[in-house]
Structure 1
Amino acid sequence: MLKSTLEQWRMFKAVVDAGGFNQAALEVHKSQSSVHHAVQKLENAIGVRLFENIGRKVQLSPQGELMYRRASFLLDEAHKLEAVASSLQAGTETTLRIAVDIIFPSELLYNVLAKVSDEYPLLRIELEETVLSGANSLLSSGKVDMGISPFVLPNGFSEDLCEIEFVAVAHAHHPLHQLGRTLTLEDLKAHRQIVVRDSSTERKADVGWLGAEQRWTVSHVRTSVDVIAQGLGFAWLPIAIIKDKLEDGTLVPLPLGNNAALRKALLYLSFEDGDTLGPAARAFIGELRYQTMNLPTSDLIIDSSTD
């Protein structure tokens, strides 16, 4: 027989998170006396002093700090349990919310979505295009069901999905291509680099070489491609996105030594809890795994020889 209840632990956690009994009462929409009584009953039931008085302030006791961490885990698991029950009760979901990093090949994504839509014609799909840590930010806040991101989800499940190839490029007439020799990173520092802004509203991530003294930051990789195609800078861009411009000669790989112009980034498929995913989400994951299994790699060869 349990000595405590989830509601008591919820009141305890609310006091800690809100910073006091009065503040917690406002957060949980209960009277201050109700919150205080719940915490007092909890302390009596488990025989542990959770708070101690420091002057006029109440703060966690050393034992309370330990119990707070365990209570937070307990309440998170309880929420997940209810989410699983809701998923089972609902059956096939009506909406699938997906966050996808903009470097993921769009044609492959559209093929996967088309397959899932054929199987579930009434399914509404909400697609969020993200950059860097943006997908994980949306996942952590519960705004999407799954994400494709270049970062592992800290509190959830992540699996390797595919590698994306990047190449450093500039317009064919950019000054870097007029040097007529193998370039160094020192050469790049004197020219404008175009980078894409992290779409997360929380922690911003900087990834890649950022050594240029002049930098333009844009919100989408397509904007970066347009800017570079105008001869206004250089960048490392996904080969799949600029394939046409590489083939027609608008964009030309920078002749960096030791194959430094080519880079790879690993993308991960992530979700908070697989048990909460419905059949449409599982169909999406299965088709995504299948289509990325044989994702072709580039045969791009960069000539870095000197004249």
Structure 2
Amino acid sequence: MNIERLSLDQLRVFAQVADSGSFLAAARALARAQSAVSYAITTLEGQLDVALFDRSSYRPQLTAAGIELLRDARQVLDQVDALQARAAAYSQGQELEVTLALDVFFPTSTLVGLLGEFRAAFPGVTLRLEIEALGSVAERVIDGEAMLGILGTLPIIPPNLLHVSLPTVLLVGVVAPTHALAQISGRIPAHVLKQQVQLVLSDRSALTANQDFSVHSSLSWRMSDLGTKHALLRAGMGWGYMPRHVVADDLASGRLVQIQTAGHPPQGAALPMQCVYRPDRHVGPALSWWLDALARLTTFDPV
């Protein structure tokens, strides 16, 4: 067996014969002489030391080994084609990979819609998503680890980043129906809120070290994961602010109830979201697509 001298052309001929059903049909599809196609297959079989086709009948039939090796050949050809496409795109200035840092408050339904459009426009570009909170999003962009970030839970924009304003997310105070605060109608005074455990998002970034945003209680439980906070709220472990699109089903079903706090308007607080990127970041076609797509958003999906 001598696989070192295998060629991509042999593998393409192998796949074409299998698809066409005969050496003659494959030769026509490849615009080659039938003898050239037969020679390519015979040489390939000799190098692999295995028969790929049974030629005892009128039409060549794949052997058991041929069926298995055809899968491997197609996988190699697919990878080579992807390599060529990505290299050609990169030579024209297109990125091979785009890394986005997204705030946990960015609506998932909107993100899924954008991802579907992006995949259709740039099928060969690898996408890396990093879901963060507070200063971690901006920090990833500033450090150059993320090419673009979407801020939400961080109410300030670092001065060294360019930004594009996005639609707002409605932030509402919620508790489980069994919680003591759920029994209070109207605005809940600040001194009452301070007596109850508030569930708060936190992060470990230097940008927000020792800073609190919308924290009204001296009793706080802190976590970096929005899903954990959501679960603890439904379990009645405390009260907290959540994006309304995340808790809409809970409010409709009664698993959570909305409360009015002294720090927010009765209907909730409109939280501005911002797309940020470094001014020295090279903007290729794929990243440019994201900037344009985000700038076109006038609203997030209704809930």
After TM superposition, the score normalised by the length of structure 2 is 0.64
1:165, 1:218 → 2: CA distance? 21
1:152, 1:202 → 2: CA distance? 10
* Counterpart residue number, 2:61: none
2:90, 2:121 → 1: CA distance? 19
Aligned residues with identical type, % of pairs? 21
Given that residues 157 and 272 in structure 1 are in contact (C-alpha distance below 8 angstroms), is that contact kept between their aligned partners in structure 2?
A: yes
* Counterpart residue number, 2:216: 211
Change (3 A) 1:296 1:197: same
2:223, 2:269 → 1: CA distance? 20
* Counterpart residue number, 1:33: none
Change (3 A) 1:260 1:185: farther
Structure 2: unaligned runs, 5 residues or longer:
1-88
* Counterpart residue number, 1:93: 95
Q: In the alignment, is residue 267 of structure 1 matched against residue 266 of structure 2?
A: no
* Counterpart residue number, 1:102: 104
Change (3 A) 1:198 1:275: closer
Q: In the alignment, is residue 117 of structure 1 matched against residue 119 of structure 2?
A: yes
Give the deviation of 1:211 after TM superposition.
Answer: 2.5
* Counterpart residue number, 1:160: 165
Given that residues 169 and 243 in structure 2 are in contact (C-alpha distance below 8 angstroms), is that contact kept between their aligned partners in structure 1?
A: yes
Query: Letter of the aligned partner of 1:127 in structure 2?
Result: L
* Counterpart residue number, 1:60: none
* Counterpart residue number, 1:144: 146
* Counterpart residue number, 1:283: 289
Give the deviation of 1:156 after TM superposition.
Answer: 2.7
Q: Which deviations, in whole Å up to 9, do the C-alpha atoms of 1:171-200 show, x marking residues without a partner? A: 011011234564212111110000001252
Query: Letter of the aligned partner of 1:165 in structure 2?
Result: L
Q: Point out the more displaced range, 237-246 or 150-159.
A: 150-159
* Counterpart residue number, 1:126: 128
Change (3 A) 1:167 1:184: same
Q: Which deviations, in whole Å up to 9, do the C-alpha atoms of 1:64-84 show, x marking residues without a partner? A: xxxxxxxxxxxxxxxxxxxxx
Q: Point out the more displaced range, 239-248 or 143-152.
A: 143-152
Given that residues 130 and 199 in structure 1 are in contact (C-alpha distance below 8 angstroms), is that contact kept between their aligned partners in structure 2?
A: no
Given that residues 165 and 295 in structure 2 are in contact (C-alpha distance below 8 angstroms), is that contact kept between their aligned partners in structure 1?
A: no
Query: Letter of the aligned partner of 2:245 in structure 1?
Result: A
Structure 1: unaligned runs, 5 residues or longer:
1-86, 299-307
Q: Secondary structure at the match of 2:231?
A: helix
* Counterpart residue number, 1:244: 249
User: How many residues of Structure 1 are paired with residues of Structure 2 in the alignment?
Assistant: 211
Change (3 A) 1:242 1:288: same
Given that residues 164 and 295 in structure 2 are in contact (C-alpha distance below 8 angstroms), is that contact kept between their aligned partners in structure 1?
A: no
After TM superposition, the score normalised by the length of structure 1 is 0.63
Pairwise CA RMSD of aligned residues? 2.4
Alignment of 1:1-307 (within 5 A): 91-150=93-152, 151-179=156-184, 182-204=187-209, 206-256=211-261, 259-260=265-266, 262-273=268-279, 276-290=282-296, 292-295=297-300
